Structure 1
Amino acid sequence: MKACNVINLLVVAQCVALAGNAYAQASGAMPLASSPVASSSRATAADKKLARDVRKALSKAPNFNVSDVFVKARGGVVTLSGSVSEGPQIEQAAEVAKGVPGVTSVSNYLTLYTKGY
């Protein structure tokens, strides 16, 4: 019985220690209010147009299939997600997106699509 109490005490102590570390990391993070993206969770008409422009530019890129690529824009920041069939297309998508007027930065979360999985 004493062994169970000791184990429970150790588990509780470890949880408290980990919770303290998590709070310390979160408090040092940049506040969300200062982020231009966090100021509004809804896309404006300009954001929607920019996303369409990026998607259109990707569709015109040579040997690039845009069907599994998703584009989101917020305040000039473009986020690419989804998948492509060839590795070099990941970097190609980022370069094409950076070349669209109005894009200030690109977050590229594209992955490589592997057939059969």
Structure 2
Amino acid sequence: MRTLHVVSRLVFAGCLTLASNVYAQTSNAMPTTSASGASSGSTAQSDKKLARDVRKALSKAPHFNVSNVFVKARGGVVTLSGSVPDGAQIEQAATVAMNVPGVTSVSNHLSLYTKGY
């Protein structure tokens, strides 16, 4: 009789342990496959194209040295980083980038290039 009592308590404890690891999934739970994953490739491609377009526009700007300028784009926001040899080129880069179709804003992190570094 005592063995039966111990066994039933062990079974009960095991059921409690297993039940604590199980949970119900609601109908509004996130799916395991994402529909946005398919569009992320096209978004990345359009961001790359926009960055190329901005860099191309900068290379065509008069008296602008684009050799140390890096351009990133994400969702229409363009980030300029790197250095330019002339202080006037910092503002020029932002103006040129803002005039490229598809650019919604420009984050200008360009600095003045100093010789010797």
Equivalent residue runs for 1:6-17 within 5 Å: none
**Rounded Cα–Cα distance in structure 2 between residues aligned with 1:83 and 1:96:** 16
Once the two structures are aligned, what percentage of the paired residues are identical? 82
Q: Say if 2:91 is the partner of 1:91.
A: yes
Query: Any gaps of 5 or more consecutive residues in structure 2?
Result: 1-39
Deviation sequence 1:17-53 (CA, Å, 0-9, x none):
xxxxxxxxxxxxxxxxxxxxxxx7xx61000000000
Look up the match of 2:69: 69
Alignment root-mean-square deviation, CA = 1.1
Structure 2 letter corresponding to 1:63: H
Q: 2:72 corresponds to which letter in structure 1?
A: K
Following superposition, the deviation at residue 116 of structure 1 comes to 1.0
How high is the TM-score relative to the length of structure 1? 0.63
Corresponding residue SS for 1:106: strand
Greater C-alpha Rg: 2
2:53 is equivalent to residue 53 of structure 1? yes
Q: Residues 35-54 of structure 1: matches in 2 within 5 Å?
A: 44-54=44-54
SS at match of 1:44: helix
Structure 1 runs not aligned, ≥5 long: 1-39
Q: How far did residue 94 of structure 1 move?
A: 0.1
